[in-house]
Structure formats: C-alpha cells, structure tokens
Chain A
C-alpha cells in the first residue's frame, strides 16, 4: 500500500503529454520583460536605469525586505525602460525591459557542465548564497526560500521533504528534472540539509513517475539519510500539508506552519536552483517550463530565461492551436488563466497549458443537489458547499467558524461538483475577506 494523505482527494486525468520529452533550451528571445515582483512579499527595488548595459546574472532589482527576493537579469543587453508591463492578473506590474544583445554571462558564474558535489560552505554561507541568488519556491507559490530555511525562534526542523509529487495534471517539468539532473538534485538536497541542520531528508514522488523514482533511488543509495518515498497518485498529494502527512504521518494543526511539526518542504526545481546557486554561483534567472495542451503540435519542456513572453514558448512548441480557448499559467487545477500571450515567464511559472475551446468553458451551473461530493473530496475535511453559501451570503463569522482559512484552494471541490457550482470562486472570496477581518482584529 503506497503512502498517501487520508482525507479526500481526487484523481483527474493525468494527461502528462510531455513526460517523455527531454528538456530543450529555448533560443534567446529578442526582448524580455522581467517583473520586479515575482514572489510573495515585497517587490524588489529596481537598481537599473534606462540605457544601462546588463549581463546575464547581473542583479537588476534588490530585495526590499526579509520576505522579498533579488531579481537578476536573465539576458545580456540594454535596459530599454523600467515601466509597467503585462501581468497574469491583468493589472500592470512594474518591471525591467531589456533588449537582448549577445549572451554575455557574469564572470562569477561557473558555466561548466561538470557536477560539483563537494560541499565546502557552512550553513550560514549556503543561506547567504540562496538569498543572494533570489531563490523562491518554484512550484508556483514563490515564497522566498531563504525565509523558509530559517525557522522562527523556538522551532527546529528535523526533516527536509523534497516535493517531487507534481500532482498537477499536464505538468512534467519536475519529472524531467528528476530524470535529467538527478545527481545535481541530490547535491541540492544535501546543501539544504546542511543549511537547515537536519540529518534526514525524504523525496516524495507520485507513483506515476516510476522512472524518476528508480533513478533517484539508484543515485542516492550512498546517502543513507536521503530516502525516496513513492506516493499514491492522488491530487493534491503535492500540497505542503498533504505531503508532510503522507511522508511523515505528522498532521499540521489548523493555522500552523509546517515547521511546527519539524518539517520543511521544498520543491524539485527549487532544490536544483539551490544547487546551481551554491555550487555554480548561478542566480535564479532561468527555469524549466512545461508547455502543453491536447491540441498543441509539440508539447515540450523548455529551459527558459525569466522574462521571455509565453508567446515565444508557445511558438516554439508548435504555435498556438487553432481551437485554443484558454491559456493557463501553471497547472490546470491551481494555475491562473491569462488574457494574452505577452505575459512573461516568471519564477513561479511551472507550466503553460492550453485548453481547447471545448474544455475552456465551465458547464452550466445547477442547483446544489447536496450530493456531498465536495465534502468527501476536500483534503482539509471542510464543507465546501457550506463555505460557498456563507461566503456568497457574506456571513463572515460563520465562514471563519467553519474554518474557511484552512482551505488550501486546491480546487478538488469545484473539480468534482456535478452541478458545476463555482465553489472555490466564492470560498476564495470568503477566505480573503475573513483573512482581512482577522488581520484587523489583531491590530
């Protein structure tokens, strides 16, 4: 019996169309737009001006607080303007436009392809490198990694979990990374363990990636303190709380952080970025993005410079399909739909999924038939139908009492609702309102 979280969960069609496609390097774009706010927390402050010449890996925006992250140039060339540009939210966001000229890298970056497995730095130095490199959680949440690696006072981590679950349908970038960069990943895990001062790490991988599981087991056998945990294929197995529960059996109390049970979770792509930052001096300026869709000619995994427009990615994968009705930045369960293809790839872009018109629209909303499927699939043991009703009627105290803040927005309820009710739409609204109310109460 494979390990898994117990409550709820769904199993959407996996559609991992690009699982067998090796990671390709996307040709350099002509221009890039690098937003300064690519992470949770305060946006970075841009330190370049129009006309500045920049190199690949050069710092262009500086972290503006503890919960913030540095932004580096992903290309070499000339800064054309520092202005607002397109964003997934539709609201213009500030960023740096750069015209690409050549491909001149910062001298500090070690571009050799050889593995550097020798760990010479101590925990503080590793943390400093991670912070300098602007590494954030690359699974989509984009929480600055250096913040996560420093437990709050009085708390101590005792296990590091690496999230290789990739439970979102369609996405395959982490899967490919585990296959193609296995050794680097193991070094990355060791670096993170050293930074956290823990002596145990576990890599959780969904059982639909058998090749990755066996490859990592083969590579990591020398490291007895790193274990690989195959997990049942069930969404949202990769949710932080669900993963910790599945791998360690520990359950995070409502409202508490993972560190409260001694666990820190980072994702595969982040671990690889940590390896590159610490061992190769390479800041985070490129990432692997899955470009996929049922009617896309050539679903692929691309290594892309941050700031490249998603249109370039789509063209490289065979062009926008004729029947494309929706483009999703991220996976289909939690990603965000975008309005146009000029939106840049950011640190949090794990995939671009194109949905055909036939699947882009939701079905007709019917009255709730009280089938209780939303309750049975909710991985947090909540009652989505009730949360939706109280959020719609704006009964915020009841929403709080029914634990709306516990919702992890995984979307299992809306996915499964036979009446096509917009459960998560309203729950998210309620979560926002209740969160704001709680904050004002604290102040």
Chain B
C-alpha cells in the first residue's frame, strides 16, 4: 500500500519538475519584451473596446499611447478628460483637454412633418434601404428610420422613438464613440460639444435641396434662408448648399437663431422655458463682447443660466 503512495508521489513530482524546466526554457526562448506601461494604461482605460478612439480596442489604444509618447491625436471619448489625464500621469506627459461631446441626430422628419411617399418593405437596415433608393419620404437626405444607429451603439444610448420614428440619443449614456455616426448612411448624426446641462442648439436638418423643394417634402426642413446666419453674432452659423450649420464650438447658446427660423428647423434642447420679455437675452449678448475670441463657453453659459 505504502509503495503505491510513494510511487504516486514520486511520479507526480518528477512530472512537475520536468514541466517546470520545460516551461522555463520555453518562456526564455519566446520572450517578447512589452512595455509594462501598456498594461498600466490599459487598466486606466474604460475597457469598453468600442473603437471610438479609432483603434481596434483599448489594448491597441494603450499600445498607441505608449508607442507615440504624446497624446496629440489620441483621445478616449468614453473616459474623457479624466481618463486621459490618468493616462498622461502614467506616461509622465501632458494630457490634451477636449470638450466632452455627444451624438446629435440632425433630422426632425417625423411622420407628421414629413409625410411618407411610399412604404419600405425590405430588410430592416438603413444601409440596405440607402443602397436601394432615396427613402420612404420625399426628402432624400432624411432619416430612414431602420435603426442602424441603434444596432451600432454599444452603450444602449440611442433608441428609436416609436411615435416619431426617429432615433433619440440618451445624453447620459452617450460616450461620443462615434459608432452611430459611422453607421448612418445619411450622415445625420454628428458629435457636438456637450453644452452645460446638456443644452444644445442645432439645425435639425440635412436637406440640401432648394427651399421650395425641401419645404414641400418636410415642413421642418431647413430652407437655407440665412435668417439665422444674419442673426448670429458669433459667426457660428454658416450656410452651404441651401443648408444652415451651427458650429457647436462657436455657438454661445444664445437661442436667437431659434426664434428667427421660419421652419423651426433649429432646435433647442434642455433649456428652461423662455421668458416672455426679450430684454434679458438682448442684455446678455453685449455682456460678453470678449467672448468672440476667447474659449470660455462654460463660464458664459453659467452666467447665462444664472441670469435665467
């Protein structure tokens, strides 16, 4: 009996020692040097592997951060400035601050605003519909409503509104990874600067047809009348191809353009209800004459919200 036990122990020990020796030599032979900081950086990243940074995953991004030695073109939209300063700390270099961004859907063509002209009955995919034809409404630039952006989102941040048939972004969940931007065949989704309290003003239209044509297919289409452009004091609005565009980096959220738009194509979100008197806003504008050149949107908006 005891011989069995001894033999068992002996055999197992010999196998163990042999394996250890083999493993040691193999490990020596195939050793690959890897910068230990890559692991540290990877640990500091959110680990979502969303690809929003432009790299295949968090590991690839960490590799790039360590490899380049600077963070000029590298930014993790999910982690934001906090994560990036952490990464910079590990690498002992300076982080580049970026304003947090959020995805915005620039189409307001609900069934009410934009009547259907045909019924789409193909595969439920915007890509399929877009490769087939212009879309199920008169507007060839508008949302197709098949939800490719919803499928593309890894963060459950964009959903179809069954009433309007349009996607809606959940600002709380959106990390601005840009997956939906890539997925939208009509390039309706844009990453815009996240305003204070998620306030934002944007032209919710991509229709580049002439005014009359655009208006005919959708009642809230931008007709390129350039009223907003004239109204804007900060050069934030440009008109190209019969379409207005508000630069979110320049916009001071003064809301003037919203009131002048004849088709209600400019949308304001998350603002408190307007006061009846216009005086507040008019006084607010000259109160920041320097603001044109300096980049202090947060402070500005804070001032404005306190006024409101």
- Indicate if A touches B (C-beta under 8 A): yes
Q: Answer whether A89 and B121 are a contact pair too, CB < 8 Å, given A425-B128, A426-B128.
A: no
Q: Answer whether A429 and B121 are a contact pair too, CB < 8 Å, given A89-B134, A90-B140, A339-B133.
A: no
Q: How many A-B residue pairs have CB under 8 A?
A: 42
**Residues of chain B within 8 A of A361, CB atoms compared:** 121
Query: What string of 1s and 0s marks CB contacts (under 8 Å) between B158-183 and chain A?
Result: 00000000000000000000000000
Please give the distance in Å from B130's CB to the nearest CB on chain A.
9
Say whether B131 contacts A422, CB under 8 Å. Answer: no
**A91 touches which of B121, B123, B134 (Cβ 8 Å):** B134
Query: What string of 1s and 0s marks CB contacts (under 8 Å) between A401-443 and chain B?
Result: 0000000000000000000001001101100100000000000
Q: Which residue of B lies closest to A89 (CB)?
A: B133
Say whether A90 contacts B133, CB under 8 Å. Answer: yes
Say whether B117 contacts A426, CB under 8 Å. Answer: no
Q: Answer whether A429 and B135 are a contact pair too, CB < 8 Å, given A90-B140, A339-B118, A361-B121.
A: no
Please give the distance in Å from A130's CB to the nearest CB on chain B.
32
Judged by a CB distance under 8 angstroms, whether A218 is at the interface is no
Judged by a CB distance under 8 angstroms, whether B36 is at the interface is no
Please give the distance in Å from B50's CB to the nearest CB on chain A.
15
**Residues of chain A within 8 A of B134, CB atoms compared:** 89-91
User: Restricting to A327-342, which residues have a CB under 8 Å from any CB of B?
Assistant: 336, 339-340
Interface size on A, residues (CB 8 A): 18
Query: What string of 1s and 0s marks CB contacts (under 8 Å) between B99-120 and chain A?
Result: 0000000000000000001100
Give chain B's interface secondary structure class: loop
**Residues of chain B within 8 A of A362, CB atoms compared:** 121-122
**A429 touches which of B117, B118, B127, B133 (Cβ 8 Å):** B127
Judged by a CB distance under 8 angstroms, whether A360 is at the interface is yes
User: Restricting to A181-222, which residues have a CB under 8 Å from any CB of B?
Assistant: none
Say whether A425 contacts B121, CB under 8 Å. Answer: no
Judged by a CB distance under 8 angstroms, whether B125 is at the interface is yes
Q: Answer whether A422 and B117 are a contact pair too, CB < 8 Å, given A89-B133, A90-B135, A339-B133.
A: no
Q: Answer whether A432 and B121 are a contact pair too, CB < 8 Å, given A90-B140, A91-B140.
A: no
**Residues of chain B within 8 A of A422, CB atoms compared:** 122-123, 128
Interface size on B, residues (CB 8 A): 14
Please give the distance in Å from B212's CB to the nearest CB on chain A.
13
**Residues of chain A within 8 A of B131, CB atoms compared:** 428-429, 432
Q: Answer whether A340 and B117 are a contact pair too, CB < 8 Å, given A90-B135, A90-B140.
A: yes
User: Restricting to A101-159, which residues have a CB under 8 Å from any CB of B?
Assistant: none
Please give the distance in Å from A366's CB to the nearest CB on chain B.
14
**Residues of chain A within 8 A of B125, CB atoms compared:** 392, 425-426, 429
Query: What string of 1s and 0s marks CB contacts (under 8 Å) between B220-237 and chain A?
Result: 000000000000000000
**Residues of chain A within 8 A of B121, CB atoms compared:** 360-362
Please give the distance in Å from B209's CB to the nearest CB on chain A.
9
**Residues of chain B within 8 A of A360, CB atoms compared:** 121
Q: Which residue of A lies closest to B136 (CB)?
A: A339
Please give the distance in Å from A440's CB to the nearest CB on chain B.
16
Query: What string of 1s and 0s marks CB contacts (under 8 Å) between A360-395 and chain B?
Result: 111000000000000000000000000000001000
Please give the distance in Å from A105's CB to the nearest CB on chain B.
36
Q: How far is the CA of A93 from the CA of B308 in the complex (A)?
A: 50
Q: How far is the CA of A184 from the CA of B123 in the complex (A)?
A: 44
Q: How far is the CA of A336 from the CA of B133 in the complex (A)?
A: 10
Q: How far is the CA of A429 from the CA of B126 in the complex (A)?
A: 11
**Residues of chain B within 8 A of A340, CB atoms compared:** 117-118
Query: What string of 1s and 0s marks CB contacts (under 8 Å) between A85-96 and chain B?
Result: 000111110000
Please give the distance in Å from A234's CB to the nearest CB on chain B.
26
15 pairs, A vs B, C-beta closer than 8 Å: A88-B133, A89-B133, A90-B140, A91-B133, A92-B140, A339-B117, A340-B117, A340-B118, A360-B121, A361-B121, A362-B122, A392-B125, A422-B128, A425-B125, A429-B127
What residues make up the interface of B, taking CB atoms closer than 8 Å to A?
A: 117-118, 121-123, 125, 127-128, 131-135, 140
Given contacts A360-B121, A426-B125, A429-B128, 8 further A-B contacts (CB under 8 A): A89-B133, A91-B140, A422-B122, A422-B128, A425-B125, A428-B128, A429-B125, A432-B131
